[in-house]
Amino acid sequence: MREITYAQGIKEAMSEEMRKDENVFLMGEDVGLYGGAFGVSVGMFEEFGEERVRDTPISEAVIAGAAAGAAVTGMRPIAEIMFSDFTTISMDQLVNQAAKMRYMFGGKAKVPMVLRTAGGSGTGAAAQHSQSLEAWFCHVPGLKVVIPSTPYDAKGLLKAAIRDDNPVVFIEQKLLYRKKGMVPEEDYVIELGTADVKREGKDLTIITYGRMVPTCLKVAEDLSKEGIEIEVVDPRTLIPLDKETLIKSAKKTGRVLIVHEAVKTGGFGGEIAAMIADSEAFFYLDAPIKRLCGLDIPIPYCPELEKNAVPTEETIKDAVLSLVK
């Protein structure tokens, strides 16, 4: 085990899979000589060359469409879209083509593509570069949706996504790129659809993902000093969703708080809440399921407003206390 960053974990996953399989390649805006907008692919152009680390035009529709076409004809493309906000330009190719082809051809066609994109707020990039759009993708049958929260998860889940025969939307939250964590040197893969209990607890379950995971873990550690033991569960993949682990934790603690950065209205937290309410866990609950999410507003440019547009340590702590006291 050695300590590397989230960005390094993603780069290692891509590089290792490209060394193993000549059909795997990376494409996107400035992923070549520049090394990607967030520096994730630095050095890959020098190792693999311009045929396998391909700079594309500034057209997200072209990136997603070319990736889908390459995938269905036998390649395994990793397509990078610089900001998740720009996936809106690629929605026809992603939603109406990539997600549908395997079904429409009765399983005879496969679409093994990964669409990597950076999501979330916190960098002062304002309303058009800071959105959390994962619920859009989760609503589309045929797409898998992954949001890792640690370097270990980022590497293992990306390797699984690259090897998957279905289109996977892989969302990397910007503020995590420089976060460090322990990652094995040997090869490993984390199966899509497996949640992870990041912290054991008995008084309340927080279900959260992405950059909210370290924030919730910090709150859990702080509240443990007050005798409140919080269990933090990270789904890691939203589609497929590890319902069994989430239900088991809800039954164990009897209280559930769902936290995510995306806006509350139509957010994936509502799907998690409904799933738990529809399960046997409902009969174990000692309080209503609560959601703490981003405000239903475009992300502001002003740093103080931006910070308070999404859950913070303070608001998470208040939400926990409202459920346990």
Return the structure tokens found at 276.
């738990």
Q: What is the pLDDT of residues 132-186, one digit of tens each?
A: 999 999 999 999 999 999 999 999 999 999 999 999 999 999 999 999 999 999 9
Distances from the Cα of 156 to the Cα of 18, 144, 251, angstroms: 15, 15, 28
- Fold category of 196-324 in CATH: Rossmann fold (3.40.50)
Domains 2-183 and 196-324 share a fold: yes
Average pLDDT over residues 252-263: 98
Give me the pLDDT at residue 325, please.
84
Give the C-alpha separation, 173 to 292, whole Å: 18
What's the pTM value of the predicted model, to 2 decimals? 0.97
Q: Decide the pairing of beta strands 53-55 and 24-28.
A: parallel
The class (CATH top level) of 2-183 is: alpha beta
* Annotation says 129 is catalytic: yes
Mean pLDDT confidence for 195-208: 98
How far does CA 196 lie from the centroid of its chain?
A: 13
Catalytic residue among 129, 198, 236, 255: 129
Domains of the chain, residue spans: 2-183, 196-324
pLDDT in tens, 74-129: 999 999 999 999 999 999 999 999 999 999 999 999 999 999 999 999 999 999 99
Q: What string of DSSP letters covers 65-116? A: HHHHHHHHTT-EEEEEESSGGGGGGGHIIIIIIITTHHHHTTTSS----EEE
Amino acid at residue number 114 = V
Placement of tokens 């898998």 in the chain: 144
